[in-house]
Amino acid sequence: MKRTTMFKVCCFITVCMAVSVWAFANMPGPDPEDLWQYITQKSPYTKWSFWPDHQGMQPGRAPHGPLHKVYVNDHAVNSAKPPVQYGAIAVKENYGEDKQLKAITVMYKVKGYNPDAGDWFWVKYTPAGKAEKFGKPGGCVGCHGTRAKNDFILVHEFE
């Protein structure tokens, strides 16, 4: 390889590494307050996408309530097959029959957080952002774990 080509390749690799370090440095830790800050201030989840097969308000099952919307960030929607990319976040707004927001449940894929169960960090927030449950709650992990092959995701089927 010519020296100039070598130099260009090295520059390219350095830039890629810097960008990925920067991107991850900007991601919250597995901490309910950091994550709330991130999804409401730094990267408001209401500006994210829906899965193509799960758009807008949808009927749901127990224990989450009768109606919901599931917002997903780029790391999630850009994942063509399970497991999804690290940094993926799904934010689920849970509504009552009266269309009032009752709770916000979140799954956040954090490298090394819980390798036995898909490395997901789970949180259930009140609409005001108070974390009622978080971490690796047995309920969340157990029920979503029935679809471990689909990376614990229930509303979207990867093809």
CA distance 71 to 92: 6
Closest to ligand HEC by CB, 17 or 96: 96
The set of residues, in sequence order, having a beta carbon less than 8 Å from that of 19 and lying 6+ positions away, is none
- Closest approach, Cβ 23 to ligand HEC, in A, equals 22
CA neighbours closer than 13 Å in the CB half-sphere of residue 76: 27
- Closest approach, Cβ 1 to ligand HEC, in A, equals 46
* Contacting residue, 43, 102, 155, 158, with ligand HEC by CB under 6 A: 155
The set of residues, in sequence order, having a beta carbon less than 8 Å from that of 80 and lying 6+ positions away, is 158
* Contacting residue, 33, 137, 145, 158, with ligand HEC by CB under 6 A: 137
Q: Does 69 bind ligand HEC (CB under 6 A)?
A: no
Q: Does 64 bind ligand HEC (CB under 6 A)?
A: yes
The set of residues, in sequence order, having a beta carbon less than 8 Å from that of 144 and lying 6+ positions away, is 107, 120, 152, 153, 154
Chain contacts with ligand HEC (rule: CB under 6 A):
60-61, 63-64, 68, 70, 90, 92, 105-107, 122-124, 133, 137, 139-140, 143-144, 153-155
